[in-house]
Amino acid sequence: MNDQKNTLFSEFDLNGLKLRNRVVMAPMTRNLSPNGVPKDYAPTYYARRAQGGVGLIITEGVEVSHPAASGYPNCPNLESDEAKKMWEKVVHEVHKNNSSIFCQLWHVGGIRKPGLPPFPEVPGFTPSGYVRPGKKVAHEMSHEEIQELINIYSEDAKTCEQLGFDGVEIHGAHGYLIDQFFWDEINFRDDDYGGSIKNRSRFAKEILEEAQKNTAENFKVGIRVSQWKQQDYDAKITSEPDELNEFFQILKNAGADFVHCSNRRFWEGEFEPNGLNLAGVAKEATGLPTISVGSVGLDKDFIKLYAGDHQTKTVDLEILHEKLNKSEFDLIAVGRALLSDPDWANKVQDGLEEQIIPFDKSFVDNYV
């Protein structure tokens, strides 16, 4: 193995969970779970990435057990016995192939559109009724509804533990519900859940705390965050370095076992072009294990791909190796490159990058 790759394929201890390497399968929505139940092929789909050399798998977004959680058709949940049995099979197959697996718990918040089944009468839930700045079209959550949702996240984390998952990732990124609380341009609450960065982070803080209390010590609870939002790619939780450090400290003090920081392009610095990326800032601020993500191994980000430029080329991973070798972050999540080639990790480790199957948008519709 090339010395430059030693870090990427070295073992990592994620707060007591031993991972065989630093490669993570990023969560990717597949819309292939009718009535919330993953299709029969799901165990094979996830197992193929474990066989292909991934050390940690994070599932596609799994809707929490709340009527307003869903925002897209055919996304999985944990509610029916049938769904739970399928997730048990997924976990078994992944573990059989020497990988660990976290379930990503997801609530879309105000992204939900009226009329969406299975509860068409239920509106999108938000901190202040806003989906984006100037667009107040959703339901403003009461204090009681916030507490109810905190409990739901906690109970769903417990369910994941009972199903055999190694941990959960709370989805707090990309403009979904938790991120809507973080975002001061749409969170106008005047109670404990709005205003300062401390208050805007309280919802996430209490979810992390309650999920930790409701699960065993060896069960991992972490969170995914991003500066950008799907409603506004230039939006930020904060542009102030000190406030961003405070934000990450809040997550650490709430008991987060890891922080997964989503960039559109992992190689871009948060405050300087060649500086630390968001995961690097989080690690420096907290010392927590951090996961970075963003167009790994691809020559363009997902926005260009879905805007019509559907072809990608596999690119050199020198920058990734450099950042990992400097310990800027600990783990790297790979998304679309693993859809097109489940053996991506093994090929990189074996020096067979030229054999990697390039991603194009057609792979989104395939479940292989």
> How do residues 308-349 score in pLDDT, each as one tens digit?
545 555 667 999 999 999 999 999 999 999 999 999 999 999
Closest CA to 177 of 115, 243, 234, 131: 131
Q: Does the structure show a pLDDT above 90 at 175?
A: yes
Give the end-to-end CA distance of the chain in Å, rounded to a whole number. Answer: 28
Q: Please indicate whether residue 176 is annotated as part of the active site.
A: yes
Question: What would the mean pLDDT of 17-43 be, rounded to a whole number?
Answer: 97
Token pair of 321, please? 């190796």
- What pLDDT score does 365 carry? 76
- What pLDDT score does 315 carry? 65
CATH of residue 47's domain is 3.20.20.70
Q: Does the structure show a pLDDT above 60 at 141?
A: yes
291: which strand partners?
A: 260, 331
Contact partners, residue 318, CB within 8 Å, separation at least 6: 4
- What pLDDT score does 359 carry? 87
More confident position, 313 or 150: 150
Domain with 25 in it: 3-365
Confidence band, pLDDT 50/70/90 cuts, at residue 307: very low
pLDDT more than 70, % of the chain: 94
Q: Kindly give the residue spans of alpha helices, DSSP state H, lying in the chain.
A: 42-51, 81-96, 143-163, 177-182, 197-200, 202-213, 241-253, 278-286, 302-306, 318-325, 336-340, 344-349
Question: What would the mean pLDDT of 254-281 be, rounded to a whole number?
Answer: 95
CA distances from 233 to 40, 132, 186, 322, 368 (A): 36, 12, 15, 27, 30
Q: Does the structure show a pLDDT above 90 at 304?
A: no
- What pLDDT score does 342 carry? 97
What is the DSSP annotation of 346-362? HHHHTT-GGGSPPPBGG
Token pair of 356, please? 């990697």
Q: Does the structure show a pLDDT above 50 at 17?
A: yes
Q: Does the structure show a pLDDT above 80 at 80?
A: yes
Selecting among 153, 176, 233, 367, the annotated active-site residue is 176
Question: What would the mean pLDDT of 194-208 be, rounded to a whole number?
Answer: 98
User: Residue 129 region, left (φ>0) first, then alpha (ψ -120 to 50), else beta?
Assistant: left
More confident position, 311 or 297: 297
More confident position, 1 or 234: 234
Q: In terms of residues, how long is the chain?
A: 368
Q: What are phi and psi of 40, to 5 degrees?
A: -60, -25
Question: Mean pLDDT for the chain?
Answer: 94
- What pLDDT score does 306 carry? 47
Question: What would the mean pLDDT of 250-277 be, rounded to a whole number?
Answer: 95
Q: Using only the alpha carbons of the chain, give its radius of gyration.
A: 19
Question: What would the mean pLDDT of 111-130 be, rounded to a whole number?
Answer: 94
Number of domains in the chain: 1
Q: Does the structure show a pLDDT above 80 at 247?
A: yes
Q: Does the structure show a pLDDT above 80 at 366?
A: no
What is the DSSP annotation of 197-262? HHHHTHHHHHHHHHHHHTS-TTSEEEEEEEEEETTBTT--S-S-HHHHHHHHHHHHHTT-S-EEEE
Question: How far apart are alpha carbons 88 and 82 in whole angstroms?
Answer: 10
Q: Does the structure show a pLDDT above 80 at 368?
A: no
pLDDT more than 90, % of the chain: 88
More confident position, 366 or 338: 338
Q: Residue 23 in contact with residue 57, Cβ under 8 Å? A: no
Q: Residues 207, 212, 213, CA angle at the centre, nearest 5°?
A: 100
298: which strand partners?
A: 314
- What pLDDT score does 3 carry? 63
- What pLDDT score does 273 carry? 86
Question: What would the mean pLDDT of 276-304 be, rounded to a whole number?
Answer: 86
